């Protein structure tokens, strides 16, 4: 089980030009927005990445507006783990459980999740917070990650996993975010 004290949220490449061509982008935006709001209530740190920002643009405003102190890691490798700036930021947080969201599921999300898993991190991919241009690419990537031992979860599932009890001081606020 993931715990608040040991968890990080990684938001991968939800950028202007890439986001426009994603399948189910309205649902994706709504779920990621809920997840970020819940994560912020629980004081879980967030790392945001941007793939070739000069070419693909910045993180979409719906997300960046929720993360006022956002300092995205610029990258060119598909796996975030291949970027030294990402590894430094991740290691500095001294947490081993990583919630992964972003685009595209079958490229950057997949490669990052597998590499994190193989380097001693426990990764969960939030299935309603990832997308690809086609549903087939997303589905195949999620299946392959499952074979690699990466656990799937949903926005609601991970937020309540982090709470662990209805007696948690943030239970009512998280419940309101989910509704």
- Of 13, 34, 80, 89, the catalytic one is 13
In whole angstroms, give the CA distance from residue 27 to residue 29: 5
Question: Does residue 139 carry a catalytic annotation?
Answer: no
At CA 104, angle to CA 102 and CA 109, rounded to 5?
Answer: 60
H/E element holding 43? none
- Of 80, 81, 108, 129, the catalytic one is 108
- Of 34, 75, 89, 138, the catalytic one is 75
Coil, strand, or helix at residue 11? strand
Tell whether the torsion through CA atoms of 104, 152, 146 and 98 is positive or negative. positive
Question: Does residue 138 carry a catalytic annotation?
Answer: no
Question: Does residue 108 carry a catalytic annotation?
Answer: yes
Q: What is the DSSP string of 114-148?
A: HHHHHTT-EEEEEEEEEE-SSHHHHHHHHHHHHHT
Which amino acids are annotated catalytic?
A: 13, 75, 108
């Amino acid at each position: 089980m993931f715990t608040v004290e040991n968890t990080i949220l990684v938001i991968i490449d939800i950028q202007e030009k890439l986001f426009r061509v994603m399948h189910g982008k309205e649902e994706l935006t709504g779920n990621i927005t809920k997840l970020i709001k819940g994560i912020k209530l629980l004081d879980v740190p967030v790392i945001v990445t941007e793939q070739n920002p000069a070419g693909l643009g910045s993180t979409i405003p719906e997300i960046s507006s929720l993360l006022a102190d956002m300092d995205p890691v610029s990258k060119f490798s598909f796996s975030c783990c291949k970027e030294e700036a990402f590894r430094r930021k991740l290691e500095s947080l001294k947490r081993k459980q990583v919630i992964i969201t972003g685009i595209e599921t079958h490229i950057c999300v997949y490669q990052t999740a597998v590499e994190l898993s193989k380097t001693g991190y426990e990764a969960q991919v939030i299935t309603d917070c990832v997308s690809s241009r086609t549903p087939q690419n997303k589905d195949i990537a999620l299946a392959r990650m499952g074979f690699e031992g990466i656990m799937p979860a949903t926005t609601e599932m991970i937020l309540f996993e982090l709470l662990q009890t209805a007696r948690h001081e943030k239970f009512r606020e998280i419940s309101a975010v989910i509704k």
